[in-house]
Amino acid sequence: MIEIKKERPVILVTNDDGITAPGIRSLVNAVKDLGDVVIVAPDKPQSGMGHAITIGVPLRLDKVKDFFDGAEAWQTNGTPVDCVKLAVDKILHRKPDICLSGINHGANHSINVIYSGTMSAAMEASIESIPSIGFSLLDYSIEADFTAAEFYVHKIVESVMKKDLDKHFLLNVNIPEGPLEVINGMKVCRQAYAKYDEDFDERLDPHGRKYFWLTGEFKNFDPGEDTDVWALEHNYVSVVPVQFDLTNYKLKTELENNWDIL
52-111 residues in contact with a second copy (CB under 8 A) are 52-56, 58-61, 81-82, 85-86, 88-90, 111
From 180, 90, 174, select the one nearest 133 (Cα to Cα).
Answer: 174
Residue 2 interacts with a second copy (CB under 8 A)?
no
Q: How far is the CB of 204 from a second copy (least distance, A)?
A: 11
Q: How far is the CB of 165 from a second copy (least distance, A)?
A: 10
How far is it, in rounded angstroms, from Cα 247 to Cα 260? 21
| Angle ∠(232,238,241) on CA atoms, nearest 5 | 145
> Of 146, 191, 230, 238, which one interacts with a second copy (CB under 8 A)?
191
Interface positions, 153-172, toward a second copy (CB under 8 A): 155-156, 159, 166, 169-170
Q: Which is nearer to a second copy, 182 or 214 (CB)?
A: 214
Other beta carbons within 10 angstroms of residue 127's beta carbon come to 15
Q: How far is the CB of 103 from a second copy (least distance, A)?
A: 18
Contacts of 38 (CB under 8 A, 6+ apart): 2, 10, 11, 12, 13, 71, 72, 73, 74, 87, 91, 92, 96
- DSSP 3-state of 38: strand
How far is it, in rounded angstroms, from Cα 18 to Cα 7? 30
Q: Which is nearer to a second copy, 6 or 262 (CB)?
A: 262
Question: CB under 8 A: which stretch of 3-11, 17-25, 99-107, 211-219 binds a second copy?
Answer: 211-219
Question: CB under 8 A: which stretch of 3-11, 43-51, 94-102, 134-142 binds a second copy?
Answer: 43-51
Q: How far is the CB of 69 from a second copy (least distance, A)?
A: 26
